[in-house]
A and B are shown apart, each in its own frame.
Chain A
Amino acid sequence: MANEKGWGPNSVDKRKTLAFGVVGGLAGIYLTPINPIIGPVLAALGAVCAIVWGADAISRVSSYGLGTGVPSIGYMSLAFSLVGALSGVSIAVYLGPHYTWLGPILGFVIAMLVGAIVAGLCLTVLRMKIPILMRCTIELAGAAALSVLGFSAAIAGSYALPNLLHSVIIPGYIALFFILNTMAIQHPFNACLGPNENRTRTLKLAFTTAFMVTGIVGLIAYPFTPAWWVIALVGGIGWYISVSAFIAASKEEAAEVKWTGWWPHDEEEFVQSVKEIKE
């Protein structure tokens, strides 16, 4: 429900975030090989699109009162989409050198299939009564897979399995992506949930977390790609713009912004009691 100012949990069209994530994520990953500097930056930006989509999906499913389950469903989706994404790029290797390009899309599809199976188990075996659980878990799985593949391609400079093995899996960065992408996807809604949640503000925070991860990815990509400083710079600039927008939105939507003082009704009580003492 949006209020008269257009603030509310439905202030963003879910079809727009879906299109933004899928198209942006896949385009970024597939454009990685075009240039050794611009390619990795585009891959990282693709992962940013995927994270924003994932943050919107998790907000929709968690609005059904998941509460402390927000980080948990983020954790779960990253776990099975990592399996899906890596199986996809591995299957592309088995298909032969001409089919490397199939890797990311296969990873994306397999992750969503595993997501559908997990959601099916939650609905039938665990009997969770969340009507949009199936759709949102599939969306989350797809978003998480694209975010991992995007950041991995940004570091490796390619989405082929041998490059990913050398630059992402053997150095152990894959474990960092598992936990850090969980954080980037679940944090926006987890931080903004409440009766006055406004999805526009939540997604501003999603851009903030996504660009912050991009900055970190730029720094840790130093040994593997010459584009590391461009990725870090893009992450830093994107973070500054989005965090400024988020802070401005928070100040606008807050009941009251004060540098210091008491909470409202006590202030009146306090002034009253001081008056009484003086009298």
Chain B
Amino acid sequence: MADPIIAGLGVVALMGAAATIAGAAEDLESDTGSMSNPNSQVQLAPQMGNLHRIFNKAVSGEPVQMGSWAGIAGSIAFVLLSLNLPAVMAIAGGAAVAALVHAAFATSSHLGRIVSVSKFKQPLFLDVVTEHLGPIAGHGFIVTFTIVGVSYLMTLPIQGLAHPFPLPMLAVLWGITIGAIGSSTGDIHYGGEREYQQYPFGGGIPVRIHGDITRRAELGARNSLDAVNFCAKYGGPVTGFCFGSIVFFSFWSTVVGGIFGSISGAILPGNSDTNTALAVGTGILLIIIILIIIINNRMEVFARNKYGPYLK
């Protein structure tokens, strides 16, 4: 039998890896459908006379969307686990059902939004729907599989983990979290850079260019797959790194706190192991947060000094 702390650290490393993949896939999935911030501009484009061939996946904000899909996958996995299926198969089954629901919602939102601007002669291109559904459902499958995987690992009876919440609830909570991270970290790389590529970067998006999105690609009309190809180089990985480090550090600190818990129990009889573990874990987490704030500040100061003051 392995040392429980070592086993816990191993599981936490696996959770961090799964979360990194989930973050990257979530951002790329939202770019495929031009969700969240870029979406309002895609919606506005036909009204400003700019017809396009971009997928308009207005399902909702990313947190609600990913919470729903991860919740569906988690609940189905919960049912399949109660049938004594192996965990990997159960989670894959849940994620497969969630992917089907995802594809149905994506189709209805594109049809709905495009038809609602028919006044401006925006055609409904059916190949846009069929072309994008695969990448949308596929990326969604990866996200729900890894998110339910992280939630399942959290419920395992390991010191520092063993969460008392049931799997469907944890899946919903983590789904909402990944949606929020994907929306806040990843979107700038599509919304600010790629969607307004014909304008100089860094100038913001003034009201007069609203709706004038880049509609032509290197060859032919631009579609949302071009945006994914662009974002996969930086926006997706950076989102994955962000979410992966959040998951890794928050669980790493509680597992490491567990070491101090057992020590304090030995020194002071009657002292609760769990409370000490939680207190030390939270302390470590606070130090990590302060360090990250300092690193961010240093990085921004370095960038400003290196690339000069902003021009007026």
B275 interfacial by beta-carbon distance below 8 Å = no
- CB of B123 within 8 A of CB of A179, answer no
- A182-B74 Cα distance, complex, nearest whole Å: 17
Given contacts A194-B116, A194-B117, A256-B124, A216 and B72 within 8 Å (CB-CB): yes
Tell me the residues in window 168-199 of chain B with beta carbons closer than 8 Å to chain A beta carbons: 168-170, 172-173, 175-176
Encoded as 1 (CB less than 8 Å from any B CB) or 0, chain A from 48 to 59 comes to 000000000000
CB distance from A187 to the nearest CB of B (A): 7
Query: Counting chain A CB atoms within 10 Å of each CB, which of B47, B105, B165, B173 scores highest?
Result: B105
CB distance from A79 to the nearest CB of B (A): 12
Tell me the residues in window 125-181 of chain A with beta carbons closer than 8 Å to chain B beta carbons: 170-176, 178-180
Chain B residues near A180 (CB-CB < 8 A): 68, 71-72
- A195-B122 Cα distance, complex, nearest whole Å: 12
- CB of A190 within 8 A of CB of B60, answer yes
Query: From B220, which residue of chain A is reached at the shortest CB distance?
Result: A262
Tell me the residues in window 45-77 of chain B with beta carbons closer than 8 Å to chain A beta carbons: 47, 51-53, 58-61, 64-65, 67-68, 71-72, 74-76
Which stretch in A18-26, A85-93, A244-252, A271-279 binds the other chain?
A244-252
A67 interfacial by beta-carbon distance below 8 Å = yes
Option from A195, A209, A251 in Cβ contact (under 8 Å) with B117? A195
Chain B residues near A265 (CB-CB < 8 A): 51
A77 interfacial by beta-carbon distance below 8 Å = no
Query: Counting chain A CB atoms within 10 Å of each CB, which of B40, B101, B119 scores highest?
Result: B101
CB distance from A111 to the nearest CB of B (A): 20
Tell me the residues in window 61-90 of chain A with beta carbons closer than 8 Å to chain B beta carbons: 67-68, 70-72, 74-75
Q: Chain A: interface secondary structure?
A: helix
Tell me the residues in window 27-51 of chain B with beta carbons closer than 8 Å to chain A beta carbons: 40, 43, 47, 51
Chain A residues near B117 (CB-CB < 8 A): 194-196
- CB of A71 within 8 A of CB of B64, answer yes
- A222-B112 Cα distance, complex, nearest whole Å: 33
How many inter-chain residue pairs (CB < 8 Å) link A and B? 183
Query: From A252, which residue of chain B is reached at the shortest CB distance?
Result: B115
Given contacts A179-B67, A190-B60, A264-B51, A212 and B78 within 8 Å (CB-CB): no
- CB of B40 within 8 A of CB of A258, answer no
Chain B residues near A256 (CB-CB < 8 A): 121, 123-124
CB distance from B211 to the nearest CB of A (A): 13
CB distance from A204 to the nearest CB of B (A): 10
Chain B residues near A186 (CB-CB < 8 A): 60, 64
Chain A residues near B114 (CB-CB < 8 A): 254
- CB of A220 within 8 A of CB of B76, answer yes
Q: Chain B: interface secondary structure?
A: helix
Chain B residues near A172 (CB-CB < 8 A): 74-75, 78, 165-170, 172
B109 interfacial by beta-carbon distance below 8 Å = yes
- CB of A176 within 8 A of CB of B72, answer yes
- A267-B120 Cα distance, complex, nearest whole Å: 16
- CB of A187 within 8 A of CB of B59, answer yes
Chain A residues near B172 (CB-CB < 8 A): 172, 175-176, 178-179
B294 interfacial by beta-carbon distance below 8 Å = no
A94 interfacial by beta-carbon distance below 8 Å = no
- A219-B176 Cα distance, complex, nearest whole Å: 22
Query: From A217, which residue of chain B is reached at the shortest CB distance?
Result: B75
- CB of B79 within 8 A of CB of A197, answer no
- CB of B109 within 8 A of CB of A191, answer yes
A257 interfacial by beta-carbon distance below 8 Å = yes
Query: Counting chain B CB atoms within 10 Å of each CB, which of A72, A194, A205 scores highest?
Result: A194
Given contacts A187-B105, A212-B104, A256-B123, A195 and B59 within 8 Å (CB-CB): no
Chain A residues near B79 (CB-CB < 8 A): 219-220, 222-223
A124 interfacial by beta-carbon distance below 8 Å = no
Query: Counting chain A CB atoms within 10 Å of each CB, which of B40, B104, B170 scores highest?
Result: B104
Can you show 7 pairs from A to B with CB atoms below 8 A apart? Answer: A74-B64, A179-B176, A195-B117, A195-B119, A209-B108, A250-B112, A261-B125
User: Using a CB–CB distance below 8 Å, which chain B residues touch chain A?
Assistant: 40, 43, 47, 51-53, 58-61, 64-65, 67-68, 71-72, 74-76, 78-79, 82, 97, 101, 104-105, 108-109, 111-127, 165-170, 172-173, 175-176, 221
Given contacts A172-B169, A212-B104, 8 further A-B contacts (CB under 8 A): A74-B60, A172-B165, A179-B175, A191-B109, A195-B116, A195-B119, A216-B75, A254-B115
